[in-house]
Structure 1
Amino acid sequence: MSETALPIRISVLGPLHAEGGNGSVLTPKGAKNQALLALLALAPEMTRPRRWLEDKLWSQFGPEQASANLRQALSKLRGALGPFADILQADRASVALDRARVRVDLIEDGPPLDARVELLEGLDARDPEFEEWLRMERADLQARIARAAPREAKGILISCSTASHGATTDESDLMAEILANQIGENIGEQIRAWRQANDPDFPAELPPADLSVTCDILASEGGHTVFVKGIHLPSGRILYSKLQKVRHLEDVLTSEQQVAKLVFEAADCIIGKLPQVLDSARPESRATALSRLSMYRMFSFERDALREAYTLLRQAHELDGNGIYLAWSSMVRMIQLMELLEDDRDALREEAIALNYRAIEDSEDNPLVHALISKVRGTAQRDAYGAFDLAETAVDRNPASAFAWKSLAEAHMMKGDLAAAFDASARGRAIARNSPFRQWWDMGHCIIAIACNRAQEAIEAGEAAARSAPLSRPAHRHLLALYALDGQLDKAQATAVKLAKIEPGFTLDQIVNDESYPVRTLRRNGLLEPIRALL
């Protein structure tokens, strides 16, 4: 066998390095040329369409210039490979490496044992699309490293109690402990966590808790004052603290709106900070960080961000097989389906339904799972009463969940009870008032207000959603119609211009005349006609 017939080896762990079977160094010079080799080496079947490569390396160039740049890079790469140049195969549609003659360390040897090894260390192709691809590949590698040395996800231990200092009554102490447990329950719905029993008779036998959630309730003028505090016990870091007025102690039992808002906010803030304080080697810690990032990406409603959110949730579930991550994945598919962001809508619907069933099988006792899959049940499976049953169960089991109230609002709307839908939506929105993802509730309330012919409330909610998520297509779509309906044509025109910037291909004719365009409630209520004044 000639030396040039021997396989070449490409190392992607650490700095990129290519070596011929005869020991010769074949690493190309130039970041773009190295990036091209890396993109092919890590591609499925080691092949990629030309357009895909152009988009990753020259995304800010026009099609003709990007195509010319790719041809030039291929020429330089062949030159670097020298006598091994024939392993690089290209035609008018795609570029590939000869899989029979290429060995890639990550593929052949698997992920490294040392998590500090960086994929394609130091490679900077100076293109945002390549940077995004590389970030995703590195995240995937870290997840694979974690799986290669698996640790059981035992869950986060939470001690929930009253921090009474002797100046309270038995009744207020009981309500404080109930409130602390409600916060612990809300945390446990969103991540793998357990509330720890506080048994004074056996304190030494309890394993140390990760978190302490304490509540004090003191009598004050006009009612009572609640003090809530969440602490990461190993470090002593305070993750959340707040004083909140309540009128009656019974408000804790009935999850009155202000109490529900406090519970939801405390749980949300604590979860948001957990990845910063927990041991990153713990599967539940890594899964929490991935799922939290996925929510930021999901609620942007952007096509690529939703794709990334789905990947992050898949990685979270691989690390910690919690059904909540399947339920969120189902929700991502529903958003992609409803916003017409992917071509194969039937495949999205089928996958959303499949994830729906898997989530409920894995976590049938989780109210948040019930709330999330209620949307899928109603929209993808067109089962309005099934959706209502799931949403009602979610609210009944956790009346402090803004997600549960949103699902109940949408279920009421599917059943045609618009007044109940509006009330439930308003309550969910109020509970989630301080959430970093409040645009989710604002946008939902905007649509329900439109269905109820409450245009001013719809505008207020739509504007709130647009402030929280300036690139949100749904918010701007609905505001465009609402402004036109209200005679605010200048604002409508400005919104149309903004929408054209964030939604490639958007036209006013499309929103008015395309029956498939995702403004169903506006179209059903006959509220798109005023836009014709802008045509």
Structure 2
Amino acid sequence: MNRHIRVEVLGPLRLRGPDGSALVLKGAKNQALLAMLALSPEMSRPRRWLEDKLWSTFGPEQASANLRQALSKLRAALGEASAVLEADRTDVWLDPARVRVDLHEEVVPDDDRIELLQGIDVRDPEFEDWLRLERAELQSRIARTAPTDGRGILINCRVETDGPARDRMMGEVLANQIGENIAEQVRAWRQAESDDLPAPEAQVSDIVVNAQLLQNGNEHAVFIKAIHQPSARILYSKLQHMPNLSDILTGELEISRTVFEAADQIIGKLPHVLDKDRPETRSTALSRLGLYRMFSFEQDALREAYGLMDQAFKRDENGVYLAWASMIRLTQMIEMPESDQAALMEEAVDLHYRAMELAPDNVLVHAIISKVRGTALGDSAGVLDLAQSAVERNPANAFAWKSLSEGLMLSGDLNGAFEASRRGQLLARTSPFRHYWDTGHCIIAIGCNRPQEAIAAGEAAARSAPLSRPAHRHLLALYALEGQLDKAQAVAQKLAKIEPGFTIDRILNDDSYPVRTLRSKGLLDPIRALL
């Protein structure tokens, strides 16, 4: 079971359990103890340091007893996740691998009026001094991340080979495909190598993507390496054997998977290597975190995801952030956490138009908004047109293949939809969001009357995202369909824990419940065996 907890220190202190639910921690000094540990280096402090900050006017024995009592109350508030808090005779610490803190996740508020640990009232002079310093550091961070004019990320795409000109061209195509995939997701420019430009006129690249080709008998070995030029840090590297170099031009699966994987991993590391005061750095960090929140499909996480994409756009007006925001609003509408469905629909449509205006040539934007066109506008022809265009222009984009599968399904091409979905799933195999494609393939397989493939995809999604509601909803019906009632019952119990308000009666009888494909295929009825 996932034992991660989340500590929110921006604004009032909030503590959330592994399932995202709020945990109640009463007492200002108990809250202060948690906050100080969460904001400390390595999330650890000596017992005596904590006692001095919270009970500076008490004697050593009384302060020590007070700390023990506070630790006991903190463990009780953490409940099943209490193992994240540890202590010995000298130190107290939180497990950094199992605790998330909003301020540590690159989330710096736009509004410099926001207060760290708002409203906390400990009434100890030592704690007040500590809090004053922490608040001053937050204001400094906000100032450092204020928007500035951004030039975009510069990507130099290179090739090294002793082979003929044809080999060099293939290497250039491969390196540029990786650069192109990066540029679809963040503001970036691919930079050409040229001996004609005087050095002062050519800016130093941020990222160098290098493809080294070596002929090895009848095939080639390709070594791909991406580095952050100023620091020489390696962001991605992979050695791949290619029976035929022309596979690069034809978008062969293994090559496309490598391109998608390389771009995805490089983007994930950009916020850690680029200068923090660059708007593209902050926007990349904010949007990346927004994707993690969005693909959880949880109510509070979806709201946070929208806010993160909004912040990303304010710092760097890239249409891709509007496209993601549009998809988030659509997801909120589908998942039904918000009461005003019409407002969500209207905003999703408006955002998707604005995204197209700002980024009319962006393949990823086309892939994202095609879903909005299909669900919000009922434009099945538009979905297919956008998705086909995206795949043709970039066959290494897993989002494009997922959109194409949905477009083909709407047009009635079941076999085409299944194959497109399967390809997207394979391309995204190494993505941290792979459960998004696994869940999508599960639903497509259901629509194509392939229950076994649907179960395999649903189980893959549940493995990589144990709290994913969509995957479990569909597995519930699939297990019941196959007569595996013990598994179906276990999934129903899991859903009752991770989805507030879930009941078997609701999935069976609430027509607005988000299992449209199961309902249209008549696959909900077997669930009645669990009643």
Superposition TM-score, scaled by structure 2 size: 0.75
Post-superposition offset of 1:360: 0.4
CA shift, 1:178, in A, is 0.8
Q: CA deviation at 1:337?
A: 1.0
1:369-408 Cα offsets, whole Å, 9 max, x none, are 0000000001100000011111111111111100111111
Residue number among 128, 153, 157 corresponding to 1:156 in the alignment: 153
Instruction: Return the offset for 1:302.
Output: 0.8
Q: How does 1:37-56 map onto structure 2 within 5 Å?
A: none
Asked if residue 406 in structure 1 is aligned to residue 405 in structure 2, the reply is: no
Q: Quick check: 1:334–1:349 contact (8 Å CA) kept in 2?
A: yes
Q: Deviations over 1:107-149 (max 9, x none)?
A: xxx838xxxx973489599xxxxxxxxxxx99997896467x5
C-alpha distance in 1 between matches for 2:10 and 2:302: 28
**Which sections of structure 2, spanning at least 5 residues, go unmatched?**
1-8, 14-26, 33-73, 78-110, 123-134
Residue in structure 2 matched with residue 516 of structure 1 by the alignment? 512
Give the 3 Å change call, closer, same or farther, for CA 505–30 of structure 1 in structure 2.
Answer: closer
- Give the CA deviation at 1:223: 2.5
Aligned to 1:186: 181
> Map of 1:323-338 to 2, 5 A cutoff?
323-338=319-334
Q: 1:122 to 1:350 in 2, by over 3 A?
A: closer
Q: 1:33 to 1:261 in 2, by over 3 A?
A: closer
Counterpart selection for 1:230 from 226, 229, 232: 226
Alpha-carbon separation, structure 2, partners of 1:142 and 1:341: 36
Aligned counterparts, 1:97-176, within 5 A: 111=112, 119-120=116-117, 123=120, 145=143, 149-164=146-161, 166=162, 168-176=163-171
Say whether 1:256 aligns with 2:252.
yes
TM superposition shift of 1:213:
0.1
Cα distance in 1 for partners of 2:136, 2:301 equals 17
Aligned with residue 485 of structure 2, among 489, 493, 499? 489
User: Deviations 1:289-344 (Å, cap 9, x if unpaired)?
Assistant: 00011111111111111111100000000000100000000011111111112111
Matched residues in 2 for 1:467 and 1:194: separation?
A: 37
- CA shift in 2, pair 1:188/1:317, >3 Å: same
Distance in 1 of aligned mates of 2:377 and 2:11? 47
Aligned-pair CA distance for 1:33: 11
For the structure 1 residues 120 and 403, does the alpha-carbon distance in structure 2 shift closer, same or farther, using more than 3 Å as the test?
Answer: same
> Which residue identity is paired with 2:160?
A
Asked if 1:292 corresponds to 2:297, the answer is no
Q: Tell me which residue corresponds to 1:49.
A: none
* Contact 1:447 1:458 (8 Å CA) reproduced: yes
Provide the secondary structure at the position in 2 that maps to 1:280. Answer: coil
Alignment match, 2:470: 474
Matched with 2:64 is: none
Summarize the Cα distance change of 1:172–1:122 in structure 2 as closer, same or farther, 3 Å threshold: farther
Trace 1:67-86 onto structure 2 (pairs within 5 A).
Answer: none
Structure 1 counterpart SS, 2:225: strand
**What is the distance in 2 between the residues matched to 1:146 and 1:318?**
16
Alpha-carbon contact 2:28-2:120 (below 8 Å) kept: no
- Counterpart of 2:301, as a letter, is A
Contact 2:147/2:277 (<8 A) preserved:
no
Would you say the 8 A contact 1:143–1:319 is kept in 2? no
Q: Which runs of 5+ in 1 are unaligned?
A: 1-11, 17-28, 35-57, 62-109, 126-136
What is the SS of the residue equivalent to 2:203? coil
| Separation (CA, whole Å) in 1 of partners of 2:311 and 2:31 | 30
- Whichever of the two has the greater Rg, that structure is 1
Inter-CA distance 496–138: structure 2 relative to 1 (3 Å threshold): farther
Number of aligned positions between the proteins: 423
Aligned to 1:219: 215
**Per-residue displacement from partner, 1:78-102 (whole Å, max 9, x unpaired)?**
xxxxxxxxxxxxxxxxxxxxxxxxx
**In structure 2, do the counterparts of structure 1 residues 15 and 263 end up closer, same or farther at CA, with 3 Å as the change threshold?**
closer
Structure 2: distance between partners of 1:340 and 1:394:
29
1:150 to partner: Cα distance:
3.4
Once the two structures are TM-superposed, the CA of residue 30 in structure 1 deviates from its matched residue by 4.1
Q: Is the 8 A contact 2:28 2:121 kept in 1?
A: no
- In the aligned structure 2, how far is the partner of 1:240 from the partner of 1:396? 26
The letter for the 1-side match of 2:180 is E
